[in-house]
Amino acid sequence: MSDPSEILYRLDASAPRRVFATGVLAALTGLLLWLSLAAQADPIWRVVLIAIAVAAAFAARSLWVATAYAILLTEEGLVQSDGRLIASYDQIGSVDRGMFALKPSNGFLINLTEARPFGWAPGLWWRWGKRVGVGGVTRAGSAKAMADLLALRIEARG
């Protein structure tokens, strides 16, 4: 058997999409802060706008940090480039790239055989119960190639 750390495929965030998505969240943060300070509103609404602006700033930072990593298809399954296991081969039931699948933009959906704890890397992947969504700010062609390769490996497994 081959080395489990051997990388079969690598899915990275697209640099322009990464910058654009983070920039949109940063712009939202600035707009909310400006609105909270410039508007003649009740102080409660100003606090609410500032709280939402802080949440948007946190989301922008989380997206920027998470998209610095890549998703790797290895012999053991899907792994984030920092070593975090997303889904192992024995847990993957099927791969869905259909039009009506609840999947991230430019990505695909993995159906697991058993529920796993919640996990999320904004812009790259999320895991909720028996579903894993891969994609977001990734290139569509690369995500399709990874989904096809993963589906072939699952089919060959039996």
Domain boundaries, the chain: 13-66, 70-157
| Amino acid (1-letter code) at residue 48 | V
Cα 27 to Cα 30, 57, 118, 121, 137: the distances in Å are 5, 9, 28, 21, 18
Q: What is the mean pLDDT of residues 58-83?
A: 94
pLDDT in tens, 77-124: 899 999 999 999 889 999 988 777 778 888 999 999 999 999 999 999
